[in-house]
């Protein structure tokens, strides 16, 4: 079922911003703020993603350090 986006006047946000923000996070639905019948802003809930755990962090770190150290032997003045 496709629900329409709830529309609320900007004045309601000004009067009680906490209530409007809690509504967006609780319902997990966007809310359109409107003034004089025109939509000004669309508030959407943030959906946090869990970090992906990488298995081989030691190898990644060693590869990064090796790449960072590879510039030691280069003449950086010759690059410009």
The residue-averaged pLDDT of 59-72 equals 82
- Please list the residues that pair with 32 across neighbouring strands: 7, 42
Whether 38 shows a pLDDT value over 90: the answer reads: yes
b/e string for 15-28 if b means 16 or more Cβ within 10 A? Answer: eeeeebeebbeeee
* pLDDT more than 90, % of the chain: 22
What is the pTM (predicted TM-score) of this model? 0.52
């Amino acid at each position: 079922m496709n629900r329409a986006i709830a529309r609320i006047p900007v004045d309601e946000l000004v009067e009680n911003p906490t209530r409007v923000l809690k509504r967006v996070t609780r319902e997990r639905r966007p809310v359109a703020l409107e003034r004089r019948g025109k939509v000004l802003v669309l508030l959407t809930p943030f959906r946090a993603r869990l970090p992906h755990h990488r298995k081989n962090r030691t190898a990644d770190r060693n590869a990064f350090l090796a790449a960072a150290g590879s510039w030691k032997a280069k003449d950086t003045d010759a690059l410009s």
